[in-house]
C-alpha cells in the first residue's frame, strides 16, 4: 500500500467538483450504453443475416461491444498519463470530446445493405474510439472525485462515479424504451436507432462546457515534481496493479450482467417482451442510482472491506438461483434485477475510492486506469457475448455459474485487502 505523504486541502467547492465530474461522466456513459440497449437493432442493420442461425448478427454486435472494451486499457493508460502529467481537468475535457465524436460516428454508420462491409468497419472504428474515451474517463474522473473529497467523505464522493454512470445508463435505457414504445418496427430499423447517438454527441458538448470550470485537484507539489513515465505505475507498483485486477474482476462481470445484459438474457432465455425488458431495466437503474451514496457513506463509517464482502459473498452464492427465478413476466425480472443491484452496490459504491487509495498521487490516474480497464475488458466487456454464446451452444445455465465463480475469486481478494477508509489520502 502506498505510503502517506503531504496532504493538501481538498477543493473549497466540493459540490461544483461533483457536478463537473458527474455531468460529464453521465454523458460519457449515456453514449457508451446506448449501444447495448439498441444492439438488436444495430445487428439487423449493420451486419449480414445468417439464414442458418438468427443469433449470428446479435453475436457480431456483442463482439463489437467487446472490441470497444479492449481499447479501454489503452485509454486508461494514455488518458491516465495525461491526467498525471497535465492535470485531471485536462484529461476530462479530452475524453468527453472524444466520446462525442465517436457517438456521432455510430449514429451515422451506414447499413450493410447500402455499404456492404464498410458498415461494420465504421462501427468498429467508432466503438474503438468510444473505448479509448471511456477508459480514460474512469481513470481521470475517479482520481478527480476522490481528490475533491473532504475528510471522511471519500467513499461518498467516489459513489458518484456510479451514480453518474447509472444516470447515463438510465438515460440511454429511457431513450431506447421511449423510442421502442413510440415508433414502429420499421421506423426503429430505419432511423430510430440512430437518434440516441446523435443526441449523445450534442450532450457531450454540454459536458465539455461544464468541465471547463472545474478546479484542478492535482497538487502544486505534484505539478513541480518530475513527470511520471507512461509505465511508471506498472513498473514501480506491480502489487497494487494486481490488487485492482482482483478487486474488479467479479464486480465488473456482475455489473455488466445485471445492469446491461439482463434484459437481453431474459429475452433470449424466457421469452421476455423487448419493450417490457427495457422498461424494467430503466426502473431498476433508477433504484440502483439512489443506493450508491448509501453504500459510499456506509464505507466511510464502517470501512471498505465489509461493504465489498457484502457484494462478493452475495454474488458468489445467489446468481444461479436468481437467474433461474426468471420467468416471462416483467415482475420476475424486476425482482431479480433489484435483488442483484442491492448486492452490487457493495462493489460499485466503493470501488473508485478503493482504487484511488491504492496508488500514490504521482501515478494515480494511470495506475488506476490500465489494470482496471484491462480487467473490465476481459470480464465485463465479454459478459453479453459469453452469455449469448452459452445460449447459442445450448447451455444457458452455465452462465450464472460463471458469474458466481468469478465473484468468489474476488471475495478472497477482499478478505485480504488492507482497510484504507480511515487513512489519509496521498496527495
Could you tell me which residue, 58 or 349, shows the higher pLDDT? 349
Closest CA to 364 of 426, 422, 420, 419: 426
At residue 277, does pLDDT exceed 50?
Answer: yes
Q: Grid cell 458498415 — which residue? A: 119
425 grid coordinates: 489520502
Rounded mean pLDDT, 223-233: 73
240: Cβ contacts below 8 Å, ≥ 6 apart: 1, 2, 233, 358, 359, 367
The answer to whether the beta carbons of residues 100 and 208 sit under 8 Å apart is: yes
At residue 195, does pLDDT exceed 50?
Answer: yes
User: Confidence band (pLDDT; 50, 70, 90) for 7?
Assistant: very low
User: What confidence tens digit (pLDDT) does each residue in 109-146 have?
Assistant: 998 888 888 888 888 888 889 888 888 888 888 888 88
Radius of gyration of the chain (CA): 20
At residue 71, does pLDDT exceed 80?
Answer: yes
The answer to whether the beta carbons of residues 104 and 196 sit under 8 Å apart is: no
User: What confidence tens digit (pLDDT) does each residue in 261-275 have?
Assistant: 887 788 877 888 877
Helices vs strands, H then E, count in the chain: 22, 0
How far, in Å, CA of 94 to CA of 62, rounded?
27
Amino acid at each position: 500500500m502506498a505510503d502517506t505523504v503531504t496532504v493538501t486541502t481538498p477543493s473549497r467547492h466540493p459540490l461544483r467538483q461533483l457536478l463537473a465530474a458527474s455531468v460529464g461522466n453521465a454523458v460519457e456513459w449515456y453514449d457508451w450504453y446506448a449501444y447495448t440497449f439498441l444492439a438488436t437493432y444495430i445487428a439487423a442493420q449493420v451486419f449480414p443475416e445468417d439464414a442458418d442461425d438468427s443469433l449470428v448478427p446479435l453475436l457480431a454486435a456483442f463482439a463489437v461491444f467487446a472490441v470497444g472494451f479492449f481499447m479501454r486499457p489503452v485509454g486508461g493508460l494514455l488518458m491516465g498519463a495525461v491526467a498525471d502529467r497535465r492535470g485531471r481537468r485536462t484529461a476530462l475535457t479530452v475524453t468527453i470530446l472524444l466520446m462525442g465524436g465517436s457517438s456521432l460516428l455510430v449514429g451515422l454508420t451506414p447499413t450493410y445493405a447500402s455499404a456492404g462491409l464498410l458498415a461494420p468497419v465504421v462501427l468498429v472504428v467508432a466503438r474503438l474510439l468510444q473505448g479509448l474515451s471511456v477508459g480514460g474517463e474512469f481513470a481521470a474522473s475517479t482520481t478527480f472525485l476522490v481528490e475533491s473529497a473532504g475528510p471522511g467523505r471519500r467513499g461518498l464522493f467516489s459513489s458518484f462515479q456510479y451514480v453518474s454512470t447509472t444516470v447515463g445508463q438510465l438515460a440511454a435505457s429511457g431513450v431506447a424504451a421511449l423510442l421502442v414504445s413510440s415508433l414502429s418496427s420499421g421506423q426503429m430499423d430505419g432511423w430510430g436507432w440512430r437518434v440516441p447517438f446523435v443526441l449523445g454527441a450534442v450532450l457531450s458538448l454540454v459536458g465539455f462546457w461544464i468541465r471547463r470550470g472545474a478546479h484542478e485537484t492535482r497538487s502544486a507539489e505534484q505539478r513541480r515534481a518530475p513527470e511520471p513515465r507512461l509505465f511508471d505505475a506498472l513498473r514501480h507498483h506491480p502489487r497494487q496493479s494486481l490488487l485492482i485486477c482482483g478487486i474488479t474482476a467479479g464486480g465488473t462481470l456482475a455489473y455488466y450482467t445485471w445492469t446491461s445484459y439482463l434484459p437481453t438474457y431474459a429475452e433470449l432465455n424466457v421469452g421476455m417482451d423487448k419493450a417490457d425488458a427495457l422498461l424494467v431495466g430503466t426502473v431498476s437503474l433508477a433504484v440502483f442510482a439512489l443506493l450508491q451514496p448509501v453504500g459510499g457513506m456506509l464505507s466511510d463509517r464502517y470501512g471498505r472491506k465489509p461493504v465489498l464482502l457484502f457484494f462478493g459473498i452475495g454474488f458468489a452464492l445467489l446468481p444461479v438461483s436468481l437467474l433461474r427465478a426468471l420467468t416471462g413476466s416483467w415482475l420476475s425480472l424486476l425482482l431479480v434485477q433489484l435483488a442483484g443491484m442491492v448486492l452490487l452496490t457493495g462493489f460499485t459504491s466503493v470501488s473508485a475510492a478503493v482504487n484511488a487509495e491504492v496508488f500514490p498521487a504521482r501515478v494515480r490516474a494511470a495506475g488506476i486506469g490500465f489494470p482496471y480497464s484491462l480487467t473490465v475488458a476481459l470480464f465485463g466487456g465479454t459478459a453479453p457475448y459469453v452469455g449469448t454464446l452459452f445460449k447459442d451452444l445450448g447451455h444457458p445455465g452455465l452462465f450464472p455459474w460463471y458469474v458466481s465463480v468469478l465473484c468468489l475469486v474476488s471475495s478472497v481478494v477482499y478478505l485480504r485487502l488492507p482497510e484504507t477508509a480511515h487513512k489519509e489520502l496521498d496527495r
